Amino acid sequence: MADLYIKNGLNEYLEPIELLITNGKIERVSSKIRNVVADKTIDLERQSIVSAGWIDDHVHCYEKLTLYYDDPDEDGYKTGVTTVIDAGSTGANNIKDFYTRTRDKLTNVYAMINISETGILAQDELGDMRRLNLQKLQAAVDEYPDFIVGIKARISKSVVVSNGINPLVEAKYFQMKLNKHLPLMVHVGTNPPELSEIMTIMDKGDIMTHCFNGKTNGILDENDNIKDFVQDGYEHGIIFDVGHGTDSFNFHTAEIAKQYKLYPETLSTDIYHHNREDGPVYDMSTCIEKLLLLGYKISEIIPMITSRPAKNFGLSRKGLLKSGYDADVTIFDIKHGRKELTDSNGNTRITDTLVKPKYSIVGGNVYSIGGI
């Protein structure tokens, strides 16, 4: 007997899909499953879309911080996101506490470890190179191999202070020397260092977050063209991640990038309590609505928040609706309605397409959203 039968759903291409879930795993996926005996059935009546559980690969949810903090469940299952990856809130000195605090959360929580041993205790964690310690970093990775899935370097002026590109050079050295390969996510923003310097050091498979910010040190030149070195880096295989955040998503920049066929590989929120409560992020659904408004199809967006982040961060049993995979599932509706969307620079657009999560299923456990 199955634990859960999801019937009469639609996939992101609006094709029929049904799932059987047993013991926290996906047992079967088909357009139609017959002769089912299950403890619980959710009949979607061909009205709702079923996808692998949404993965937000850039959040800040270490609750003990005073700067960027949140409850992982507020960013996670309550909004349709079944897995969050904290983007460097903690370093070697405090990641143990973060790990301990997340064990009773209903959302799957993973972490990128900050290359600074302090994490983001202040805005300038890379202003003192003595905070970068390979031995401490390696010890933390060894202690929490299933929790730490990447490393994070925030490379912008307020963070590195007078150290320029040196922290990123050190991050690449750390990445090479660690006895477990981990993806590197690089935060880009205000210069110095220059974006051109940063992308020169980054390699194929490294992740550039905040890719569509509206800053002068961004991807557009003064004539609204994609800078040559940006195009080169994209073609070389640097992964572009949205990382919306309070200050890092601009409609115009994202629009121009789409015209150049420079598409984000992953969509993340960079959410924490402030931009969740007061905007402009709010939740993953709002970020999806912004990409839909820019002309992306839902079938193009779903891999950005499921299979691609799962692949990038080595989450080998997540990101796909496939037999044997973790039973992490997001069920949502796309409805007509009117809503004002705001980017990180205060620019507004009106959408008539709304994304409404209905259920988060985490490890086979069903959580309804919005009072369903």
CATH number, position 115: 3.20.20.140
Task: Report DSSP letters for 258-272, one per residue.
Answer: HHTT---SB----B-
Q: Does 97 lie in the same domain as 177?
A: yes
Residues 85 and 102 in one domain: yes
187 is in an annotated binding site: yes
Same domain, 253 and 306: yes
270 annotated as a binding-site residue: yes
* pLDDT tens digits, one per residue of 266-285: 999 999 999 999 999 999 99
Q: Do 299 and 223 have their domain in common?
A: yes
In a domain, 346, yes or no: yes
Contacts of 317 (CB under 8 A, 6+ apart): 324, 325, 326
pTM above 0.75, yes or no: yes
Quick: pLDDT tens for 200-235. 999 999 999 999 999 999 999 999 999 999 999 999
| 187-204 mean pLDDT | 97
Q: Per the domain annotation, does 188 fall within a domain?
A: yes
When pLDDT is averaged across residues 115-138 and rounded to a whole number, the result is 95
- Is 252 labelled as part of a ligand binding site? no
Confidence (pLDDT) at 371? 59
Note whether residue 318 is domain-resident.
no
38 and 187 in a single domain? The answer is no
Clarify whether residues 45 and 136 are in a common domain.
no
Structural domain count, the chain: 2
73 marked ligand binding residue: no
Q: Are residues 23 and 157 in the same domain?
A: no
d(CA 244, CA 57): 11
Does 34 score more than 90 pLDDT? yes
Give yes or no: residues 62 and 23 share one domain.
Answer: no
Looking at the structure, do residues 249 and 359 belong to the same domain, yes or no?
no
Query: Containing domain of residue 39, as a range?
Result: 2-51+323-368
Percent of the chain residues past pLDDT 90, beyond the cut:
98
In a shared domain, residues 205 and 298: yes
DSSP 190: S
The answer as to whether 164 is a domain residue is yes
Instruction: For residue 193, say if its preceding peptide bond is cis, omega within 30 degrees of 0.
Output: yes
Q: Which of 139, 84, 131 is nearest to 112 (CA)?
A: 84
Half-sphere exposure of 102 (CA within 13 A, CB side): 31
Residue 131: inside a domain:
yes
* 162 shares a domain with 179: yes
Strand-pairing partners, residue 226, are: 220
How far from 66 is each of 90, 183, 339, 358, CA to CA, in Å?
A: 12, 27, 32, 32
DSSP 129: G
Domain membership flag for residue 113: yes
CATH number at residue 333: 2.30.40.10
Residue 8 CA, chain-centre distance (Å), reads: 29
**62 domain residue, yes or no:** yes
The answer as to whether 152 is a domain residue is yes
- On whether 60 is known to bind a ligand per the annotation, the reply is yes
Domain shared by 15 and 135, yes or no: no
